A and B are shown apart, each in its own frame.
Chain A
Amino acid sequence: MVHFDHVTKRYGSLTVLDGLDLRIAPNEKVAIIGPSGSGKTTVLRALMTLDRIDDGVIWVDGEPLTHMRRGDGLVRADGKHLRRMRSKIGMVFQHFNLFPHMTALKNCMEALVRVLGLPVEEARQRAGELLAMVGLADKQDEYPARLSGGQQQRVAIARALALRPKIMLFDEVTSALDPELCAEVLGVIRELGRAHQLTMLMVTHQMGFAREFADRVCFFDSGRIAEQGPAREFFDAPRGERTQRFLRAVMDAG
């Protein structure tokens, strides 16, 4: 479904992704963990085309994400190609990034009307169903400022799902939340994984959730995957010394 083929991303002299190779199967749930600055968020941002990659190719659904085929080679994709590829992917952010001047319902309708061109009534209905799915049917007319962090993040999930992506990206979606609110958001993600055919990538510090929910865990260090494996195996018997040290530090902290 997704294939990072030798992908490199630099910020100035800093290399955040260093020839990354990563393959993700359809419907697979992958948790990405690692110390800060290890490039894990960049993986999601590159896949959402928010960050440009410097080298390598990202393949999505058998097509290059930010390139187009021309003759035998690949050239940088134009806007039309990018928009088509982007429509397969949805993203949820650490700080929600809801549109503060729109109600929960309008947040979820916006792209349906503006991007997909759905009639307003149909958009309203689809947005309402999604808000109901994340347990916020009664909050659809509230503005984000009047919702708790957990509620805002659930609206953000509904908003991303509205466009029916095949791949969902979760970027530290519970890091800005109290533990209590965390649980309600993780509950929604768990439900999503169960009820829908979605490929999911999540950057997370919630080791417990990663262990229980993910099919596979990738441990990032210095822009590469230092170790990966099936979730339970990974947490129960980490092989690398760096991995063990990281997991010990995380367990001590939380």
Chain B
Amino acid sequence: MNALSHPHWRLLVAALACFAAAFALASATGLARSVPELLRGIGVTATVMFGGSAVAIVVAPVAALCKLYGGSAIRWLAIGYIETFRGTSALVQLFWLFFVLPHFGITLEPLTVAIAALGLNIGAYGAEVVRGAVLAVPRGQWEAASALNMTQSQTLRRVVLPQAWVLMIPAWGNLLIELLKATSLVSLITLADLTFKAQQINQNTLQTVEVFSIVLLVYLGLSLLITLGMRQLERRASFGLARGPGT
């Protein structure tokens, strides 16, 4: 197959085109001097994005499995976490960790707060995604494993989770893009992310149309990269399975 006709390549080309267009726009409109500032902003946005993803991807399966298979105390703890972080706004969560915790003697770096709050927020949604995917694996798989004398945790690790994983990848793609967009909130707890830098440059240059068009293109390019990554994962994870792309 021609490499450029592969849909994943098209995503990569589209993402690069977004970045190139953003750079061309900056150069053509006298904003070239601001590019290093924007790049630093992108660096902060990407750091929060990766850190938050890592937190979410670890927390979500743990919360989901606690809710599904934990004893009653652990189950209620997991439900409490999931409902609290799904049911309140991400901005309030950021403020709470940043402005309220110091009143209880806990002061955290802004970057730590950003990664923790957004990671836990997306992790709470992710927990429901994981739970749904685990429950979507047919009961016959559990029964077959039980007939082979596998324990519950062996069945989960070896049989159920590998199949659930494939089912949940598309939903995770959505969540990670949500996370990317939510990173724009961190400017409100003093972090100089891409959105913050854009506002600064806008105030200095008053080139509102150009500045926010550039930022729009950069966010779009980043989210296309996330989509690309998830498609690759999906392709690899579904190898041999009779669903989704692959084989």
Residue ranges of A at the interface with B (Cβ–Cβ < 8 Å): 48-50, 79, 83, 86-87, 89-91, 93, 95, 97-103, 110-111, 114-115, 143-145, 156, 159-160, 163
Residues of B in contact, count (CB < 8 Å):
22
Given A101-B163, A114-B154: A50 in contact with B143 (beta carbons within 8 A): yes
Whether B148 lies near A110 (C-beta < 8 A) is: yes
Contacts of A91 in B (CB 8 A): 147
Which positions 16-34 of chain B face chain A at CB distance < 8 Å?
Answer: none
Known: A87-B149, A115-B149, A115-B150. A99 touches B144 (CB 8 A): yes
Residues of B within 8 A of A99 (CB): 141, 144-145, 159
Residues of B within 8 A of A160 (CB): 147-148
Chain A residues with CB below 8 A from B147, complex form:
48, 50, 86, 89-91, 93, 160
Task: Name 6 A/B residue pairs within 8 A (Cβ), A-sorted.
Answer: A48-B143, A86-B149, A89-B147, A99-B159, A115-B154, A159-B148
Instruction: Verify if B146 is at the interface (C-beta below 8 Å from A).
Output: yes
The smallest beta-carbon distance between A232 and chain B, in angstroms, is 31
Query: Quick one: CB contact mask for B102-121 with A, threshold 8 Å, 1 for yes?
Result: 00000000000000000000
CA distance A48 to B140 in the complex (A): 13
B149 to chain A, nearest CB (A): 5
Knowing that A49-B146, A144-B242, A163-B148 touch, tell me 5 more A-B residue pairs with CB under 8 angstroms.
Answer: A110-B150, A114-B154, A115-B148, A145-B247, A156-B144
- Given A143-B241, A145-B241, CB of A97 within 8 Å of CB of B141: yes
Residues of chain A contacted by B132 (CB below 8 angstroms): none
What residues of B have a CB within 8 angstroms of the CB of A79 in the complex? Answer: 151
**Any chain A CB within 8 A of the CB of B240?**
yes
Contact flags B183-216 to A (C-beta < 8 A → 1, else 0): 0000000000000000000000000000000000
Cβ of B245 to closest chain A Cβ, rounded Å: 13
Residues in B lying within 8 Å of A, measured CB to CB? 138, 140-141, 143-151, 154, 158-159, 162-163, 166, 240-242, 247
In the complex, which residue of chain B has the Cβ closest to the Cβ of A88? Answer: B149
Contacts of B138 in A (CB 8 A): 97
Which B residues touch A101, using CB under 8 A? 162-163, 166, 240-241
Instruction: Point out the residues of chain A lying under 8 angstroms from B159, CB to CB.
Output: 99
Q: Give every chain A residue within 8 A of B151 (Cβ-Cβ).
A: 79, 83
A156 to B148 Cα, complex, angstroms: 11
| A50, A100, A163 pick with most chain B CB within 10 angstroms | A100
With contact pairs A99-B159, A110-B158 given, residues A93 and B140 touching in the complex (Cβ less than 8 Å): yes
User: A97–B163 contact, CB under 8 A?
Assistant: no
Closest Cβ–Cβ distance, residue B127 to chain A (whole Å): 23
B150 lies within 8 A of A98 (CB): no
Docked complex Cα distance between A103 and B163 (Å): 14
State whether A145 and B240 are in contact (beta carbons under 8 Å apart), knowing that A93-B143, A99-B144, A99-B159 are contacts in the complex.
yes
**Residue contact B150 to A97, C-beta cutoff 8 Å:** no
Q: How far is the CA of A145 from the CA of B141 in the complex (A)?
A: 15
Complex-state Cα separation, A37 to B138, whole angstroms: 22
- Kindly list chain B residues whose C-beta atoms are within 8 Å of the C-beta of A98: 144
